[in-house]
Structure 1
C-alpha cells in the first residue's frame, strides 16, 4: 500500500528510494488468491542461484514491514529445499486453517549480497457461511510491525472532503458507502475521485460484501454496528441488544474468547450487552463478535494511530558555493516515512551521484547536499503524513578578496585626485558612490576598469568634491571607502585674544564634582559651555585616545560657545576617565570627568545541586562575576521539569544567600533550576540551567565491608550492595582512606567504581589505615560503610602451597607428538619462587619450557617424545620455607611386533600357537594381542582373537585339507603395532580315509522363449502428473524389448523413459497430456520366439474443486 501523500504535495513519478529489482525469481506466488476460511493454503517461490556468489536469503512479509519468520508455528510453516542439479532454491509458506485476519497484502523478498527481488500477492478470505453483514473496514486495514496481522490504513484512503461553511445552514454529512450502494456502477469512479478514495479495487470488494443480505437473527434485537472507530489511547464501548434478558453472551476477539479484566469490561443491563475497551492500543484493532448460542453478530474496531508530526522544524541556510548543507528535522515516531522536495520536484537517492544523501537516525531525518551550487538555491520541503516544514537555501558566490584598499586623499584646489583599488576577480564590475550617491562620469570625472584594478580620477578638484567615496562591486555585499579632504589655504587676521574657559554644570547626573553615573543602555548628553576669543578648539579624549567622531554612538557635537559630548546607549566599555581640553592662541583649559556605567548584574554561575531528599533539593551557586557597578541585593530562583518549557518562581522576595533549599517537589521527576541576580538597577539575565536532578533520597550504606588481601603497598577491599537502593539507582562507589588518628579522608578512586571490590594502591608500609566505602547515585552520597578497626599495611607471610590438580596426582600419560601444557597453581606470600627438576636434575630449557607467574607455573612441551618421560618435581620456596610436588609423565607410542611366533602343535581341526613379547613395548604395558589366520590358497586374513592377554592361544574350527599360516599383532594403550609377526611354520589339517565320489555334473539348459509373467494394467491418470506402466518378462537369451503406442514404436522420444531391472519392465511418461492417451504395448523378442502384452492409458483433465 503506498504511503499517504499530503493533499497539496506534488506527486512523484516513482516511489522514493525504490530498489531496482534483479529478476531472481523463477516462479512467483499468484498475485491474487481467494481462500475459504478454515482451509489450508501453500505459496511456493523458486529462486535461481546459478548467478549468485552466496546463498540467497528469503523473507516472507505481511503488509510493508511485518516479518512472518518470527511467527512460525502451528499457523505458519516454512520450508526450504535446494536442487543441486538446477541450482534452484524452492521456498514454501504454508498457512494452516486460514482466518479472516490473514487477509491482506503480502510480499516475498529475496536478497543476496547486492542484488534483490520481490514479489507481492494478496490474499482474500471468504467466510464459509456469511451470516452477518460484512465489515466496511476489513479491506482497509493498516499494516503494523507490532501486530500479527498486516492491515491497510483506512484513514489514508478516505480523505476528508473539505466542507464549505454557510452562514445560515451547514451542509449535512454524507455517508459515502450509502451513496456508493445506491449509485450506478458507471459512477463509482466519479464518486471515488470526489471523496478521495484511492483504493478502487478494495472499494469494489467492500461494496460486494456490503450488498450481501444478512440472515435474520432470532437471538438479537439490535446487532453491533458494522464498524467502530476510536483514537489510540481512548475508550470505546461496543453495544448490542439481545432478545432474552437472561441469556449469557460471549465476546470474541479474532475468534478468541475475551476474559474480563481491567482493560475489557463486560456489562449486562436488561437486554443490553456492552463490551468496554479501555486505553485502546494498536493491538485492539481487530474483529469482535458477540455470541449467543449458535447465533452471533460481529463488528470491527479500527484504532486510529496519530499521524506522524514534525517536532523540530527545518531551518533556513545561507551558504557560499561549495559548502555542505544539512537540512535536519525530527518527527514524532521512529521509522516514519519522510518525503523531501526541492521546489516542486521530489528528491531521490541517486546511486550514480553522491551529491544528495538521506540519513535516518531514530526520529531524526537529515537531507544532505555535499557541495552546494548556485542551482541548489531555493525552497526545500519535508512532508510526512501529518506534517510539513520547509526551509530556504540561499547560495552565494565565494567572498571577493580585496588585494588593495582605497586610501584617503588630501588635495589642494585644481589638483587631481585618484582613487585606486584591486580585487581578486578580473571579471567583477562595480560602481562608485560619493556620500551614498552614485558618481556619474563627466569631462572632469573618469572611471576605469583594467583587469583587477578599478580607478576613479577627479581632475581640477573643487571644494564640493570633498566627501566619502565608496566602491561597491556588483553582486557582492562588499564596499571599499575612503575620504577626500580638500585643503583650503586661508589668510586670517589677528583678532583680540581671550584665554579659553570651561564652565561645568555640576547638577544632574554628577554625584561629585568629577563623577557622572549613567545606567547602561541610557543616553548621556553632556553640554559644556566654552568661552574664549578667538573661538577655542575643543578636544575630547578617553584616556590618551582623542574622540573625533561627529556621528555614531559616541560623538562630539560643537556649537557656538557650547561643546556637547553624547553617548547613545551607554555600554560597560564606555566607563572611564574622559578629558576635555580647550585651546586657543591665548592659552588652554582642561577638565577631567569620570563616567561610571551601572548595569544589571551578570547572571549567577555554576548552578549545582548539592543534595536531594525525597521531595526537596539543595541548590548552590556562585555570585555573578560583575555586579553591574551596584551591589547585588539578592537572588530570584525558578525551577521546571525536564523537557518542559514552563518555569515556576520559587520566591518573590529577594533571597540573599547563595544556598537555597527547594521544597514541595515530586519524587522521581527530573528538574532543572536557574537563578537571577538582582541589584538596584534591575534583574540580570537567567543563569545557565543546572544539570537535571531528581528529588530522591540517597541509597543506604554498603554492607559487609571486609579486607580481602593486604600487601606491602596495597589493600584489597570487598563489600555488598546497599540494602536500600531506591528509584535513583546506583551509579557506583567511592573508596576513601585515612591514617589512624587523622580526620582527612583521601579518595582512592578517581572514577566511580562499579564493581563491589577495589584494590587501594600506593599505601605506606607499616601504617595503620582506616577505610570506608560510600555509595553514590543521582541523589548524592550515602552514609559510609567503615571498617571496625584500622588495617596494618604489611605483607602477610603465608606458607608456600602447591595446589596440584587431581589428574596430575597419578601417572600422566601422553602419546608421542602430543602437546603437553600443564598449569600448576600455588599460593604463598610474599611471592614464592618456583623451580623444576627432572629425576633430581634441573630441567633442560631446550626440552621443556617453563613460565612462572605470581599465582601459578606453566609447564609446556610443544611435541612430546619418549625421552620426555620421567618424574618431574616442582619446588616452591619462600625464604627458608618450601613445598614440593611430583608429576610422573610417561610418553608412549605403538609397540613393536611379537617375537618368535610359531605353531607348536596340530591335532584334529585345531592348532596351538605360542610367541614371545615384543622387544619394544612403546613405553607402555602390553594390553593384549590380536591373532589372525589365512588359508594358503586364498591368502585372505581373518581375525581369530583380539585383546588376547596371554602369549599363546589355540585356533579351532580349521578346515580339513587346508594349510594355514598365522600372524600376531601386539597392542598397548596407543593401539596395535604397525607390523605383525608371521608364524615361522604352518598348520596342515590332513584329510581322513573316506573318499567322496560326486555324481557327474550335467549342465542345465536355460534356453527359454520370452514369456510375460506380469501383464500391463489399464491406467487412468491426470494430465500434467508423471505416470508409469510396468510388466515383467522372462526369457533366455535375454530378449529385446520394444515399447509401442497404438502399434507405433516409441523409439528415443525424450518424453518416455524405458527401464529394465532384472526382467521388470517400466515405461515412465513425463507429464502426460490428453494426446498421450491410447493403447500401449510391450513386445519381447529373442531367437526362440516372442511375446506381447498391451494396456489402455486414459489421460483426463484436472478439475478445480473451487469452480465446482
Structure 2
C-alpha cells in the first residue's frame, strides 16, 4: 500500500531579481502556510542560514521564501533548494545558478552596484551626444545631476583638457560647439563631473561611423540651407549661384539642368562649389543660353531642387552687367601703369651718376614723361632718358644738391594714366647720407 502525502501548493517557482543597489534577490511563492511551517534552505547540498551576505526571509502567512545576496560572487554559484514542510504537507523547489546564467547574473549585478554607487555623487543622466544645428555647427551635449556648488566639470579631447567646452551649473548641461567640422576635430571627447562624493564621466568617439553619420546630417541640413538661385553678370559671362551654410563634396552631389536637360561642364559651361556656395558659370553668353535653370542637390536620401528663369529682363540685365565688367577689365588690363622698379627714396653722393629704372605696361604703348617737384623734366645736358621695351631709365650725371627732390614718371595711353614716384636726396662729400635723407624728406612736400 502506497501512502500519498499532501504537497504544499507552488504558486511561483524560483525568481531572480537584481535590486537597486546590485543585490540579488531569489524568491518563490507557495500557498499560505501555518505558523508551524518549516524551511530548510540547501546550497550545494549543505544547509545554509542567514548571514551578513545572505539574508534569508521566510514569511509563512504569505507563503514567501526569499534569499537576498548582498554582493554576488563566485562563492554564490551553485544550486539552491527550498525544502518546505507544513504538518504532513511537503514540497521541494530547486534553482541552479551556474554556467552562463550565473556569469550573466554576476555581470548585471556588478553593473547595477556600480551604477548605484555612481549615482550617490554627481553623475550624468544624459550621456555625450551630438546634433547638427541649423547653422551647420556640430554641438556636443551632455547633462549631469546631483551636483552642488563645489562640483567640478571638465571637457577633454584626445585625453587633453580643452577650454572650448561650456557648463551651466544651474541646469547641469555641458556643451561643446564645433563651428566647422574638420579632420582635426575627429577623435575621442570626454566630459567628467566630480566632487568629494565621487566622479562620473561620459565618452563620445567622433570617428568612423559616428563621423559618417554627422557628415551625412551636415549634408542634409546644408542642402536645406541653400538660398534661392541668383543671377549675376561677371567679367567672363553670367553666373547662377546659391549660397549654402555647408558643402561637402563627399556627402553632397549637385547636378545642373537647362530646360530639363542635364548640363555637363565644357568650353562655355563651368560648374563648381566652395564651402558656402554652389555655382554655374556661363562664359560668353548667347541667346541659346536663355531659359530655365535647375540646381539639384542630393544629400543622403534627400534631394532638393532650386530653379530660376534666365530670360527676358533677367537675361538682359545680366548680359549688360557682363558687358560693362568686361569693358572695365579691358581698360584695367590695357591702361598705362608703372609696374615696378622705383624705390621710395634714393640717396647718392654729389658728383656721382644716378640711374633709375622702372618697368611700365599698357596697350597701346604709353607716352612717357618725367616730373621733378610736379614740373616737367627737360632732358638736356646731364639728364638723359632711355626706353627699352617696357623698361624706362632716367640717368642724371654729376648730381648735385639742386637735383634733390621728388621725381615722378608719368605714363599715359587712351585707357588711363599712372605716376610712379621716388624721392632723390644728394649728400655732399663727408656728409652722412641718412642725416641728409631725413632733411630732404622734411623739405619735400608729401604726395597727395
Q: TM-score, normalised by structure 1?
A: 0.15
Higher percent of residues as helix: 2
Greater RCO (Cα-Cα under 8 Å, separation 6 or more)? 2
Say which one has the larger Rg: 1
Q: TM-score, normalised by structure 2?
A: 0.30
